[in-house]
Amino acid sequence: MPSQVARITMSLLIGWMALTLGGSASALVIDWTFVGSPGNPCDGQPQGCFGSVAYPYTIGTYEVTNSQYAEFLNAVADTDTFGLYSAPDDLAGVTRSGSSGSYSYSTIAGRSDMPVVLVSFYSALRFANWLHNGQPTGAQGGTTTEDGAYTLTQQGIDDNSIVRNPGAVFAVTNEDEWYKAAYYAAATTSYFDYPAGSDTTTTCASPTATPNRANCDQPDFADAGSYTGSASPYGTFDQGGNVFERNESIINGSNRGVRGGDILHSASRLVASDRGSAPPDGEYSNVGFRVVPEPAVRDVFVILGMLGIGYLEKRRAVTG
């Protein structure tokens, strides 16, 4: 837990963000992990060399959860113009009620802290835009979901050409940011093969504190951070297992990158050499995403990271 000084520092930062980004102090909670050692070497794999990041940064400690995504939907999807919600299946965690113009969203009992799925790459970008714009409430459009960190146009979607805008505040992880946080060990300036800090194949198991375990080849998702002994070297959780996670990389022209394995496959999909991809408009029951803060707030988070404060809390008056 952060110290009282840390809490005060974060409170000041919250106020600064609300004023700067036009958002409200009543917002979702996101946990961040600091990733230092800028300019680290990349890790050679058959598909290329990955993981070199020139700047210090922070990354979501966990995958975006159902409760976080439901807050986003309740803010911008009274009328779900761009299809941010997909009809649930057995692995989904968000449900919708009402009719267009008055939709409301809630999490399914017992699934609030599981990773959100059935989210296309473009819906993930819209979530990042919403964060970038200060978590506003209103119809889906240029000031809420369609511009900010990314400019979404029909032509860009058709061409699969949308990229992160300069000055983005929050974004979906790029592949190198994701890879470094999962596999890189700053102490030895080298990479592990698996994202729980090991070169030994991760064991698929139910939630446990035993090291080098992950939620793979299992019947259902686990709550974020349930594998308490299996953090990455930097301290992120679930970069191996639970769900594949989207990243910004354009692969073979028509797809976007996914990494990290999921509950439907064996531990072989968790290894650093496994580079997957999926159509960006697809909504899959085993694919989620993770976010990073970018230049406009990164330097502040870097300072917090150096002070040992790994996350920012934007909290309601009552927050668990």
- The one-character DSSP state at 73 is H
pLDDT at 216: 98
pLDDT higher than threshold 50 for residue 283:
yes
* pLDDT cut 90: percent of the chain above it: 81
What is the model's pLDDT at position 210? 98
The CA–CA distances, whole Å, from 33 to 25, 281, 318 equal 21, 29, 23
Q: Which of 243-247, 280-284, 308-312 has the lowest mean pLDDT?
A: 308-312
Q: Beta strands 190-191 and 184-185: pairing type? A: antiparallel
> Using one digit for the tens of pLDDT, what is the confidence trace for 188-209?
999 999 999 999 999 999 999 9
| Per-residue pLDDT reduced to its tens digit, 95-126 | 999 999 999 999 999 999 999 999 999 999 99
Residues for the chain: how many in total? 320
Phi, psi of 319 (to 5 degrees): -135, 135
- pTM here is 0.88
